[in-house]
């Protein structure tokens, strides 16, 4: 979990899983740490050894201090101060897309409001090998402490890019060769009927409203996830996971078929 420091681009990351992910993947971003005084069980001693090995200053404090710093969040006895999360600007995003070429996999979230869903989408994107997650700058969830807790460290590994205009970004991605696939529960063509291959952008709409008209019109293809039960729709992060792992399944199946020829 992360909270932003009011003095600038510094953040506080707390919670065992988020701190462990930061130590493993971006240790250079850690400035200092605070741990619960007297912690001798669980994951805290392990994290303390790792922080010591990196020569990161560590201070032992009372639980009340950790509660205050985390704003009452579930810090689990450890808080580290960092230089920020893995958020990139539009220039860096465009460079990433060009460098990745035909292997590009992006997840675009069209106005996700719930920070827990944003965090869960980042976690799913990390597991599925996504190159970047794209979100609108306004009227959408940001990297709040709630989002970072749900991400369990994935915000440190998956680049997040905030854009002023999703439609303009989609047009640029199309010009760069990406195939844009949107998800809509009301579409008869399912994700299993579609041919998914990179370079690709998978576009998921907001909770309840789904895709906005303009972003929907810019999709090359619209697919649905077939539902067998009484539930009419899936949580946005679950839907993103189904799409991303079906993409992975198809890519791997075609690669295996080529090798067997």
**How far apart are the C-alpha atoms of 119 and 98, rounded to whole Å?**
26
User: What pLDDT score does 127 carry?
Assistant: 86
146 vs 248: which has the higher pLDDT: 248
Task: Provide, for the chain, the percentages of residues in helix, strand and coil under a 3-state DSSP scheme, each rounded to the nearest 5.
Answer: 40, 20, 35
Token representation of residue 196: 């998914």
Tokens of 193: 């009927």
Confidence of residue 134 (pLDDT cuts 50, 70, 90): very high
> Token pair for residue 16?
């065992």
* Helix (H/G/I), strand (E/B), else coil: 258: helix
> Given this model, what pLDDT does residue 245 score?
95
Dihedral-angle region of residue 111 (phi above 0 means left; psi in -120 to 50 means alpha; beta otherwise): left
Q: Average model confidence (pLDDT) for the chain?
A: 86
pLDDT at site 2? 47
CA distance 205 to 210: 4
Task: Give residues with Cβ within 8 angstroms of 159, minimum separation 6.
Answer: 86, 87, 88, 92, 93, 96, 131, 132, 133
Q: How far is CA 211 from the centre of its chain?
A: 19
**Dihedrals φ, ψ of 60, to 5°?**
-85, 130
Residue 5: the pLDDT is 44
Q: Please give the residue that has the higher pLDDT: either 149 or 124.
A: 124
pTM beyond cutoff 0.75: no
Nearest to 122 by CA among 153, 152, 85, 151: 151
Average pLDDT (156-179) is 92
pLDDT at res. 261: 83
Radius of gyration of the chain (CA): 20
How far is 37 from 213, CA to CA, in rounded Å? 54
Q: Which domains does the chain have, with CATH numbers?
A: 2-82 (3.30.1330.30), 87-260 (3.40.1280.10)
């Amino acid at each position: 979990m992360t909270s932003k420091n009011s003095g600038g681009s510094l953040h506080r990351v707390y919670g065992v899983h988020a701190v462990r992910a930061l130590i493993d993947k971006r240790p250079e971003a850690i400035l200092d740490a605070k741990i619960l005084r007297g912690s001798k069980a669980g994951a805290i001693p392990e994290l303390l050894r790792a922080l010591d090995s990196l020569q990161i200053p560590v201070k032992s404090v009372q639980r009340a201090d950790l509660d205050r710093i985390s704003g009452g969040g579930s810090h689990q006895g450890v808080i580290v101060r960092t230089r920020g999360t893995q958020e990139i600007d539009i220039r860096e995003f465009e460079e990433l897309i060009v460098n990745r070429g035909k292997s590009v996999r992006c997840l675009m979230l069209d106005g996700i409001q719930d920070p827990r869903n944003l965090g869960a989408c980042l976690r799913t994107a990390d597991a599925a090998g996504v190159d970047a997650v794209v979100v609108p700058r306004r009227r959408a969830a940001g990297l709040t402490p709630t989002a970072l807790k749900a991400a369990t460290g994935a915000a440190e590994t998956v680049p997040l890019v905030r854009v002023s205009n999703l439609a303009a970004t989609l047009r640029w991605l199309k010009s760069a060769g990406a195939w844009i696939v949107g998800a809509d529960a009301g579409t008869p063509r399912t994700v299993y009927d579609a041919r998914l291959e990179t370079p690709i952008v998978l576009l998921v709409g907001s909770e309840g409203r789904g895709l906005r008209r303009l972003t929907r019109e810019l999709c090359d293809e619209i697919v649905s996830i077939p539902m067998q039960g009484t539930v009419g729709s899936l949580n946005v992060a679950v839907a993103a996971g189904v799409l991303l792992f079906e993409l992975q399944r198809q890519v791997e199946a075609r690669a295996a078929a080529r090798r067997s020829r």
